[in-house]
Amino acid sequence: MRRAFHTRLPLTRAIAMFCMSAALLLTLPAQADTQRYNQISLRAEAQQAVNNDTLTVILYAEEQHADPTRLAERITQRLNEGLERARAVEGVQVSSGNRRSHPVYDDKNSITGWRERAEIRLESNDFAALATLTGDLLKGLSLSGMQFSLSPEARQSSEEELIGDAIDAFRQRASLVTEKLGGSDYKIVNLNLHTQSPGPIYPRNAMLMRSEADSTAPNVEAGEASVSVQADGVIEIRY
C-alpha cells in the first residue's frame, strides 16, 4: 500500500505570508499616489537673435538641343568654367548640385530634342566675396536662388549660452507658482531641454544680383536668426 505524503505549511507561516502580500498590495497604490502628489508641469523659454553667418548661392546652366550628347557637352563646359572660377576664390566652398535632363515632345508626341539643367552650389561666410563672385558667374550662368543661414558652430555656441538662461527662467517660474499656491519650497522632479533651429532666410533682393552683375556687386543683408532653448519639466511643491 502506497502512502500519500502531503506537505503543509504551518498555519502561522501561511497567515504571515498572506498578511505580507496584502500589505504590499495596499502599499503600492499609496506610493504611486504619493509620487504624483502636488506635482505641476511647467515650461520656460530663453531666446536671442543671432546674425546669420553663412550665404549659399545656387547657379545653373540650362539648354536645349536635338543631340543629347552635344547638349551634355555644352552644359558640362559651362559648369566647368564656373567651377574653375569659383575654386579660385578663397573662402568659398564649391560643390556640384542637381543635374537632370528630359526629352522634349512635339504635338504628335514625338521627341524633338532634349533639355538639360545642371547646378553648382557656392557657400561662404564672406558675403562680399561671394556676392562679387556670383555677379561674375552670372555672365555665363543663371541664378536659381540664394539663402542666408546660421552655421552649426554659431548655432551651437548660441544654444550653449541660452541653456543657463532657460534653466534660470524655469526656476523663476517654479518659484512664482510655488508662492502663488502657498507652498514653502519645491523640488524639480524632472527637467528637459529642447533647442529650436532656425530655418534659412531667402532675401528679397536676390534678383538684384542679376541686374547688377555687369556693374558692381549687390549689397546683401544677412538678417538675423532666432535661436531658442526651451526648458520644460515637473516640480513638486512642498507645504
127 and 64 share one domain: yes
65 and 161 share one domain: no
* Residue 9 lies inside a defined structural domain of this protein: no
218 and 119 share one domain: yes
Element (H, E) at 28: helix 11-35
- Secondary structure class of 112 (helix, strand, coil): strand
**Separation of alpha carbons 174 and 113, rounded Å:** 69
Question: Is the entire prediction scored with pTM above 0.95?
Answer: no
* Residue 123 lies inside a defined structural domain of this protein: yes
Give 201's pLDDT tier (boundaries 50, 70, 90): low
Q: What pLDDT score was predicted for residue 207? A: 43
Q: What would the pLDDT profile of 85-98 be if each residue is shown by its tens digit?
A: 999 999 999 999 99
* Residue 20 lies inside a defined structural domain of this protein: no
pLDDT at 204 over 80: no
* Residue 131 lies inside a defined structural domain of this protein: yes
82 and 133 share one domain: yes
Residue numbers of the domain that contains 234: 39-50+154-197+229-238
Q: What pLDDT score was predicted for residue 43? A: 96
Residues 13-40, mean pLDDT to the nearest whole number: 55
* Residue 16 lies inside a defined structural domain of this protein: no
**Separation of alpha carbons 86 and 126, rounded Å:** 13
Q: What pLDDT score was predicted for residue 114? A: 95
Q: What would the pLDDT profile of 59-79 be if each residue is shown by its tens digit?
A: 999 999 999 999 999 999 999
136 and 101 share one domain: yes
* Residue 33 lies inside a defined structural domain of this protein: no
130 and 212 share one domain: yes
What's the chain's average pLDDT? 83
76 and 107 share one domain: yes
What residue has cell string 517654479?
Answer: 174
For the record, the C-alpha cell of 183 comes out as 507652498
Is residue 35 packed enough to be buried (19+ CB in 10 Å), middle (13-18) or exposed (0-12)?
A: exposed
66 and 177 share one domain: no
Asked if 49 contacts 226 with a C-beta cutoff of 8 angstroms, the reply is yes
116 and 162 share one domain: no
139 and 102 share one domain: yes
**Separation of alpha carbons 160 and 5, rounded Å:** 73
Asked if 42 contacts 173 with a C-beta cutoff of 8 angstroms, the reply is yes
Domain count, the chain: 2
Sign of CA dihedral 174, 180, 185, 190: negative
* Residue 4 lies inside a defined structural domain of this protein: no
